[in-house]
Amino acid sequence: MLALLLCLLPGAVLAQASKRGLTPLGNPSALVEAESALAHLARDKGANTALAVMSEDTAEVLAPARTPLRTWLKAHDAAVWFADRRTDRVWAACDGTAGVSTGSWRGGWFATIWKRQKKLDFKWLLIDATPLAVVPPAPDWITGKVADCPARSTQEEGARLASPVLRPLPGPMPPLEAPAGTDSRDGRSDDGSLVWRSTVLPDGSRRLCVWIWQDGALVGVIDRSTPAGS
């Protein structure tokens, strides 16, 4: 079994967050557990059933085009995504409300975007699964990262814990550079410390980008482009 290496916030950053009354709640282990639960359910009940049970109502699949999950399941079998499936890396928002996991399956690469639910479990809302000619070897560790906590006042932090709401993004997302007719959608954690953009271009190619708040800026951690039809 792969060991889980959690590359959490540096001590200095944790200390600074604590002084502001900000406590990182992101938990990479919870995302690994969600991926594991999805894989076990796929084994026990079937891949399509697993995807449906552990998804939000608005879940979408990018394989190859953006498609609502319920529509995609009518014409596809996701069993191939769970053959030799492994999780390699995870990123969690500071407030724990969203996260991303990536890894590989027998024929390719995947990314899953997760949102935390009221009962503190996770359901996924976006999957990008990309075939690869050569699948990279399994890493020795599953690595995890928690985004830095955006600077908030103690009063704001107390209000967030009492009644979570979307906060302004701590910094600007990179501008979208794409031709007319592009289908691009952005998503985010409640605190804005983890954001993503899924883009389907007019020629059918697509791109998935994820950023986390780190050292005072949104830093890219995923930038995956996929040719049309893949």
Q: Report, as an integer, the average pLDDT of 217-229.
A: 95
pLDDT band of residue 209 (cuts 50, 70, 90) is very high
pTM for the whole structure: 0.86
> Of 106-110, 165-169, 207-211, which gets the smallest average pLDDT?
165-169
Is 181's pLDDT higher than 70?
yes
pLDDT at 1: 40
Q: Report, as an integer, the average pLDDT of 15-40.
A: 77
Residue 50 burial (CB count, 10 A): 22
pLDDT at 11: 37
Q: How far apart are CA 63 and CA 226, in angstroms?
A: 10
pLDDT band of residue 25 (cuts 50, 70, 90) is confident
pLDDT at 158: 54
Q: How far apart are CA 37 and CA 124, in angstroms?
A: 12
Do the Cβ atoms of 101 and 112 come closer than 8 Å?
Answer: yes
- Residue type present at position 199: T
Domains defined along the chain, listed by start: 3-164 (3.10.450.50)
Tell how many helices (H) and how many strands (E) occur in the chain: 5, 12
Q: How far apart are CA 137 and CA 16, in angstroms?
A: 38
Mean pLDDT over each residue of the chain, to the nearest integer: 88
